[in-house]
Amino acid sequence: MPKQIIKGREIVADDWNLVRAPEAAEGTTAADAATAAEVLGVPAGHVIIPLATWLAQREALASRAAAGEIGVWIAPDEDPVALRDDLQRLALVAVDFPKFTDGRGYSHAWNLRSRLGWTGELRAIGDVLRDQLFSMQRVGFDAYDTRPDRSIEDALKGLTVFSETYQASVDQRVPLFRRHARPAPAAASAEA
């Protein structure tokens, strides 16, 4: 079966190849790891590559980017601002959640949508699970590469948990109190 992801609110086949730098060997430094990402071989086809790989090889990858074959993923400790001038060359941007308990990716998504003007596909990758999808959708993700050991059909249910939300975010720029005329005390008491 081809690989599947959730896009919008549907399960679709996906041919993007997520490229990660090999796990750093014991005793290597962060600088070694960065170098590894920079010199990483980029396979043919649709690829999502580390930010460091893109920044180091973007000239060499220019024609493939122009052909819509290149996406870039951002780690929690990276800043998507590094992509500011390159976004129009990318076919998709992904944000990595190495652990779902690391919430930096939510702010990266918000920044990409709200400040960097990214309107293309924004994909959550890594430890992406049903119970976080609703929040991911709210901060601007529209594609979810859910963890392969879990049912993707079940995960889809995570996108429709709430039908109202209090605060503004990317999916809804207007907070509840500006969207609806909410009742004043007397009316509320009468209802209760």
Closer Cβ to another protein, 42 or 83, answer by number = 83
What's the burial of 82, exposed, middle or buried (CB within 10 Å: 0-12/13-18/19+)? middle
Closer Cβ to another protein, 16 or 97, answer by number = 97
Q: Is 102 in the site for another protein (CB under 8 A)?
A: yes
Instruction: Please select the residue that binds another protein; options are 69, 86, 103, 116, rule is CB under 8 A.
Output: 103
Q: Is 161 in the site for another protein (CB under 8 A)?
A: yes
Q: Is 153 in the site for another protein (CB under 8 A)?
A: no
- What are the backbone angles phi and psi of residue 102, rounded to the nearest 5°? -95, 105
Give per-residue burial for 134-173: e unless 16+ CB within 10 Å, then b: bbbbbbbbbbbbbbeeeebeebbebbeeeeeeeeebbeee
Q: Residue 17 carries which side chain, given as an amino acid letter?
A: N
Question: Which among 8-16, 21-29, 40-48, 97-105 is the span making contact with another protein, rule CB under 8 A?
Answer: 97-105
CA distance linking residue 61 with residue 43, whole number of Å = 11
CB of 65 to another protein, least distance (A): 27
Instruction: Please select the residue that binds another protein; options are 4, 17, 35, 165, rule is CB under 8 A.
Output: 165
Residues 6+ apart with CB under 8 A from 159: 6, 9, 133, 134, 137
Q: Is 110 in the site for another protein (CB under 8 A)?
A: yes
Q: Residue 127 carries which side chain, given as an amino acid letter?
A: D
Per-residue mark of binding to another protein, 50-89 (x: CB under 8 A): --------------------------x-------------
